[in-house]
């Protein structure tokens, strides 16, 4: 059975958000252009599950030119000890992937306002 939240979202994950251990992958955000109606924007995701406990979401890269949070979360992800973790940690190091890759405040795809 598909959970109700998953059934209503168009965003797909390449990693299992519930399985124990440490996994890296992408959230696939659908994005249509004149060149392709079936494209997607990758949003890097790391999920660490180390037993029962609360879930925590850490996000950086909402603005592509704010590098401190991105660097801090990447360092955290590289040093995680899942065996010491109780609960689930979800980390998005580049929430606005196009802006992060361009090093710009907003996405070059639409020039959105911050």
Mind listing the pLDDT tens digit for each residue in 56-67? 999 999 999 999
Q: What is the average pLDDT value for the chain, to the nearest integer?
A: 90
pLDDT of 38 strictly over 70:
yes
State residue 75's pLDDT score.
97
**What percent helix, strand, coil does the chain show, rounded to 5?**
25, 30, 45
Q: How far apart are CA 37 and CA 39, in angstroms?
A: 6
- pLDDT mean over 75-96: 96
8-17, 28-37, 59-68: range with lowest mean pLDDT: 28-37
- pLDDT mean over 61-86: 95
């Amino acid at each position: 059975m598909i959970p109700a939240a998953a059934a209503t979202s168009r965003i797909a994950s390449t990693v299992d958000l519930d399985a124990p251990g440490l996994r890296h992958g992408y959230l696939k955000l659908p994005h249509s252009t004149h060149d392709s109606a079936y494209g997607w924007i990758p949003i890097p995701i790391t999920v660490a599950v180390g037993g029962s406990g609360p879930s925590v979401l850490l996000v950086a890269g909402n603005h592509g030119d704010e590098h401190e949070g991105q660097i801090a979360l990447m360092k955290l992800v590289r040093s995680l000890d899942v065996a010491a973790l109780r609960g689930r940690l979800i980390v998005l190091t580049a929430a606005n992937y196009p802006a992060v890759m361009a090093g710009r405040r907003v996405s070059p795809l639409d020039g959105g306002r911050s």
